[in-house]
Amino acid sequence: GQNIDQPTEMTATEGAIVQINCTYQTSGFNGLFWYQQHAGEAPTFLSYNVLDGLEEKGRFSSFLSRSKGYSYLLLKELQMKDSASYLCAVRDPSYGQNFVFGPGTRLSVLP
């Protein structure tokens, strides 16, 4: 089967650091993706990991451990505009190379 878990909601303070975790159990694995989705808008691509380790992109970093089926998205120097849902997704070759999405984590950044 395929299952991706994320916390439903998180709250953090402006200027702080927040880590959003994602665990996955999929039949196959061909990359893990993080998307940001503001309310009423399209999901937009943030990061991609296919090998173990940390990928850094400005204020955002993403980590992957394939042996543990685990990833996290790290957001530094939080800004109010970072309030959004963050979606974790796995490309699964056994699912036609399509994405399996997690339920998303709604992050609220408070002043």
Partner 1 sequence: ETGVTQTPRHLVMGMTNKKSLKCEQHLGHNAMYWYKQSAKKPLELMFVYSLEERVENNSVPSRFSPECPNSSHLFLHLHTLQPEDSALYLCASSPAGNTEAFFGQGTRLTVV
Binding site for partner 1 (CB under 8 A): 4, 8, 30-31, 33, 35, 40-45, 48, 50, 87, 89, 91, 96-104
- Write down the least CB distance from residue 9 to partner 1, Å: 11
Closer to partner 1 by Cβ: residue 41 or 77 = 41
- Choose between 63 and 105: whose C-beta lies nearer to partner 1: 105
CB 65 within 8 A of CB 54: no
Question: Tokens at residue 60, please?
Answer: 């955002």
Q: Is the dihedral of CA 19, 32, 52, 66 positive or negative?
A: positive
Least distance between partner 1 and beta carbon 111 (Å): 26
Task: Output the smallest distance, CB 17 to partner 1, in A.
Answer: 24
Per the CB < 8 A criterion, the answer to whether 9 and 17 are in contact is no
d(CA 11, CA 33): 22
Measured from the CB atom, is 13 or 108 closer to partner 1?
Answer: 108
Amino acid at 96: G
Beta bridge partners of 88: 34
Instruction: Specify the residue, 13 or 25, whose C-beta has the smaller distance to partner 1.
Output: 25
